Homo-oligomer: A and B are copies of this chain.
Amino acid sequence: MKSSDAKLNDLVLRRTLQENGHRYTDQRAAVFRLVAHSRVHPTAEDVFLGVRTEVPGISLATIYKSLETLVSCGLAKKLNLDDGSARFCGRTEPHHHARCLTCGGVSDVPGELGDLEVAALRSQAGGFHLVGYELELTGYCSDCAPATGNGAGASAN
C-alpha cells in the first residue's frame, strides 16, 4: 500500500475505465480505492460511509452508480451473500467466501478449484459454456464454532 502502489492502481483504473467507454472521476477513484483495499466485503452503505470521509459531498446514488460501473469493467465483484444487501469485493486473487451461519461474517478463503474439478464441472454442465464460478462456503467461524467436535460432511445445495 505504498504510494507507488496507489499510483499504479489509479492508472489501472484510469485505463480500464477508458477502455470501457467511461470517464475517470474522483468519486469513482475513491470508491475503487475503498473496495480494492477493503477486506470486509462492504455493502453499498458501507462504501458510502467510508468514501464520505474522503469525498464529503458524495451521494449514495453515486455510490451505487460507481459500483455498477466498476463491476461492469471487472474491477469489482458483486457478491450475493444472503443478508439483505449486496456486498462488493475488489480483491483480484482467486478466492472463495466463507460465511458464518451464526454471526453472518464473511471471510476470504484463498485458492481456486483444481483443473480436474473444473473440467468435471464443464462436462457435467453439458451445453453450458462455463466462464467462471463463485463458491460460497457455509459453516461456523472460529469465534462461533459449535461445541460439538465434528470434522466431516459438507454437502452441496
Contact = CB atoms under 8 A, between A and B. Distances in A.
A97 to B, nearest CB: 8
A156 B134 contact: yes
A15 to B, nearest CB: 20
Interface string A63-95: 000000000000001101110001001010111
Interface string A105-136: 00101111110011011101111111111111
A130 B157 contact: no
Query: Which size class do A's interface residues fall under?
Result: 35 or more
Contacts of A112: 155-157
A120 B96 CA distance: 12
A8 to B, nearest CB: 21
Interface string A28-50: 00000000000000000000000
Interface of A: 77-78, 80-82, 86, 89, 91, 93-96, 98, 100-101, 107, 109-114, 117-118, 120-122, 124-142, 145-146, 151, 153-157
